[in-house]
Structure 1
């Protein structure tokens, strides 16, 4: 059904209630409601932004960042790793969740990363299984490129590796940025090959990355447009928007378990309670899923007691094991003949590009980025760096305060994760860093943009963070944001990788054929390239998030810091599952939206008893 009132949802007597109509939540809702005899309710705090240009037009992807109707606008706690600077943490607010706000990149993880999920104690969570669900969620639209451009830009996906009839469109832009082949050629000189398709689980190399843009009309393809909109008229799919969940209602069950019987939420300043006869599915993301668990009495009893919340299940791992990708930017000025997004800052050109967009052409049809490179550590670091980093792949190498209050079970699980990170450091098939290239002056606070010039930005990021953080409530009020402790750069390996990546990118700018496009360097300042102390300070001052938080409701054995088991059931609960990227115990190298869709697809099949 279209969006309904609270009274209509209650009258329908839902079998399932889903908290959060986000990237994974709407997948679960769509799949469960395929059975006309199953009533599914979705409770979403945001609105349905169906016709918003900032959501739908790919070139406008950043326009809704930090707008309260679209973005929860979280920020991490100040930390010494970033010189006591909070780092903004945008999260999508509305139907579609962060898929309405993200930058549409749809690169898959590696085989080894997904196989590690199973090895960490999660039967059935491996490459072969999740690959099927990634395929199920997507609909590949092959590149519309000449054979020559397919080779130059590394865009030749193998149709057998991709889905052909799934809800989410996956396409390749035809708006090619001229300097990128030269940068790929330069990367090949430095030992990094082109990789025309990472869809088979091998991510090493440079490519024109796929995005979740529907080439039919050049609009964002996301959870709300692909999973909800086509099914909105189902009488058994009921969605309430503008409803902020305050807690999950629990009752004692058999064998010491708790049973989730309903959800309490506030809409239009009124408090409501609605029950579900079968299950509650929590799909609020890496920051808010643990917050809702703690508000419901599920979490570390010490934290719950501080806020006067009765402990229903003492589960100290809730909110722990937080991980995120982070980057440090480089920005250069390029030849003014190169078409960058700065051209659209002039009213006449903006209007022209908007007219081109209506024809499926021009800068607004795609994210202002084409090139992505995944890099093994030996390409950008020396053997002595790798040896030193391997010796630091442990909890003890991190800042002393980071793990001071961390539960022992969580530390046990993190130690097992570090074993994989240490192994991947000197594995030539394991991506430990990423370059994301954009044809614009990347926004940097305090750094003005000369709109008469043209810019290109290369962001150097680590792909497997060694830092671990946490998310916990700071108040019994559901409207008070949780404390997000990212602890960026608390482990020196992360710092070392970002510094070496800065040097690596600066080397690219000095080599032909990339050099021919470089007019001037904007940041980091000239003269820092050979001074690692200055570069480290630069990294601390300019580090930003790649928007991929995971791990806070980790899918692991309980003794290793797990919050949910491999069936996605919360430990101690009979019928409460978490289905979103918070369950990932170990960060993958890629953008997490393909995994969010796969988790939703697999989670729905688990509930239906298909697997």
Structure 2
């Protein structure tokens, strides 16, 4: 079993025991599933706007429009099921249930094997239920740097335009008096807080970091500018421990019997195959969608018409496939699949980007209530925890995180190729981080490989601006795809991870609860290497000296172990058409009318943060754009 697999098996069982059969009505998190009368539509129904995909941005946009304009008829089409009241959604600590083998709440995109990652296939999970990634991710609160949005070079999408929307999203509950609340929102639908639970060892972690590294404990690394230290991180969790996903906060309140917006409907368990066009207009106008209901053995196709607009919101890996099956994409590829071209856009499916993740793990002397190990291995009764309202269920295991960049002297040591890039893209941008480092209070891997009853901590290093690029395109006109993740196709990205791993390992060895390194979660160093794995705390105080042979072992491990952060973006880039763009600044698909894309696929360049916050912001921005286009308030 690969990384994370065993960790999620217990949650797979949990999903069967506590999710199936729920029919309780109501909107309060944890109340159970509710089938709303507006959760279906037929091919005879015409609507004003169709959202092709029910992920984070889609829920935000559809919810905003429906709430503000009760006469606007909106249909949100989602390939997965409802998330309402699902215990594995509501309780953040149970996030791994969605990664279990056979999970129906995540989509697992499989890339083709690549020599850059040890001839492996990289598996990229994406949201596969209502609410998308916000329903199943780690709920880690992370916001971009201001210059990230300026770097998009798109009118209306600069930092001055997007930061107010990021504030509009949230109600921030400061865990520290040092937080500058002028840089956060206080009346939005998404609550940001500690969730009612934090580990006690976070103070030991921060003391070790500040003592051993020179990095500081910072008040706020999510103020759009701060970099170079760590903070006690909040999460997308309300003070009472409930996940703050886009569907629960933007959609479900509108579907109550007394809701002010009876115009919003959900069409669940239905996958959009393509957009329908009126080809008699110039340019061709989007007039509806074709979709496939689940359980139709792949043969039944239905249609819904849109009077005003179709908005594709199927994510960075789904949206380009819908466009290509609709005749929007590289005309040569479309011709090869026998699809008549509506608009020749070679950029569709290109420019795929992610953040690369590595996690190293360590044995600790921490008690069971300081990690999620006992929950992951079944030593804790999840049902009893839910019944008792255990506050640990509101935890995502990440209390400490930092945005980091090396000193210039460190960058030089990573080699001339890296340093040339450093001088060009980082040295003159002091607010640009190279990595995010997270302290994850659990083992990330197969628990069969570690000692039973042991508590662990893992350190994740996330490369924020990889130079590697991939692509995704249809391989069959109906269902197949050809996906190249592009991971580590740039050697610069390997150097980034090598720097992050070495710094993380040095910190881990100094932690007061460190009891050794988990061998399977580290490189296989040459026999006799002074940098070899420590089986216990003996030798932890010695400085680690790496040889060229050690670096070769680290690079091999990086290529064999690197994974995704679920941060897919870029495949329907918002930039000029002549530069490979797919949508303009108003989210209109070039060469069409009445068709937009509004999800992370539009991001032309990466950002220095987890992408969830940007997905929320794209949803808010799309709502404003669509309202303006339709002359609505």
Q: TM-score, normalised by structure 1?
A: 0.87
1:124 aligns with 2:156: yes
- Answer yes or no: is the 8 Å Cα contact 2:254–2:262 preserved in 1: no
Instruction: Tell me how far 1:142 sits from its aligned partner.
Output: 3.0
1:342 aligns with 2:373: yes
- Answer yes or no: is the 8 Å Cα contact 2:166–2:613 preserved in 1: yes
Partner of 1:88: 123
1:227 and 1:265 map into 2 onto residues whose CA distance is 24
Partner of 2:400: 371
1:381 aligns with 2:410: yes
RMSD over aligned CA atoms reads 2.3
User: Aligned with 1:63: secondary structure?
Assistant: helix
Matching residue within 256, 268, 289 for 1:263: 289
- Answer yes or no: is the 8 Å Cα contact 1:377–1:428 preserved in 2: no
Instruction: Tell me how far 1:328 sits from its aligned partner.
Output: 1.6
- Answer yes or no: is the 8 Å Cα contact 1:357–1:365 preserved in 2: no
1:40 aligns with 2:69: no
Partner of 2:141: 106
Partner of 2:28: none
Distance change >3 Å, CA 524–CA 208, structure 1 → 2? same
Structure 1, residues 417-439: CA drift from partner, whole Å, max 9, x if none?
xxxx9422563321011111111
Partner of 1:213: 237
Partner of 2:16: none
* Residues matched between the structures, number: 559
Partner of 1:424: 426
Distance change >3 Å, CA 253–CA 197, structure 1 → 2? farther
User: Aligned with 1:59: secondary structure?
Assistant: helix
Equivalent residues in 2 for 1:515-594 (5 A)? 516-522=512-518, 523-525=521-523, 527-528=531-532, 530=546, 531-594=550-613
Partner of 1:228: 251
Instruction: Tell me how far 1:476 sits from its aligned partner.
Output: 0.9
User: Aligned with 1:169: secondary structure?
Assistant: strand
Partner of 1:405: none
- Answer yes or no: is the 8 Å Cα contact 1:558–1:571 preserved in 2: yes
1:273 aligns with 2:286: no
- Answer yes or no: is the 8 Å Cα contact 1:23–1:99 preserved in 2: yes
| Stretch deviating more after TM superposition (545-554 or 297-306) | 297-306
- Answer yes or no: is the 8 Å Cα contact 1:157–1:199 preserved in 2: no
Matching residue within 13, 18, 22 for 2:51: 18
- Answer yes or no: is the 8 Å Cα contact 2:218–2:231 preserved in 1: yes
1:558 and 1:320 map into 2 onto residues whose CA distance is 13
Distance change >3 Å, CA 308–CA 59, structure 1 → 2? same
| Stretch deviating more after TM superposition (285-294 or 48-57) | 48-57
Structure 1, residues 308-348: CA drift from partner, whole Å, max 9, x if none?
2111111000000001001222111001536322233575x
Partner of 1:403: none
Structure 1, residues 331-383: CA drift from partner, whole Å, max 9, x if none?
11001536322233575x513x7656556544222101111111013279333
Partner of 1:167: 189
Q: TM-score, normalised by structure 2?
A: 0.84
Equivalent residues in 2 for 1:140-219 (5 A)? 140-143=172-175, 150=176, 156-188=178-210, 189-204=212-227, 205-216=229-240, 218-219=241-242
- Answer yes or no: is the 8 Å Cα contact 1:377–1:386 preserved in 2: no
Instruction: Tell me how far 1:509 sits from its aligned partner.
Output: 2.8
- Answer yes or no: is the 8 Å Cα contact 2:220–2:231 preserved in 1: yes
1:56 aligns with 2:90: yes
Instruction: Tell me how far 1:35 sits from its aligned partner.
Output: 0.7
Equivalent residues in 2 for 1:323-334 (5 A)? 323-334=353-364
User: Aligned with 1:278: secondary structure?
Assistant: strand
Structure 1 gap ranges (5+): 144-149, 394-420
Distance change >3 Å, CA 10–CA 156, structure 1 → 2? farther
Partner of 1:296: 326
1:310 aligns with 2:340: yes
Structure 1, residues 436-493: CA drift from partner, whole Å, max 9, x if none?
111111125x972323211100012211111011011111113x3x222111111111
User: Aligned with 1:551: secondary structure?
Assistant: coil
Q: Extract structure 1 runs of 4+ deviating beyond 6 A.
A: none
Distance change >3 Å, CA 426–CA 455, structure 1 → 2? farther
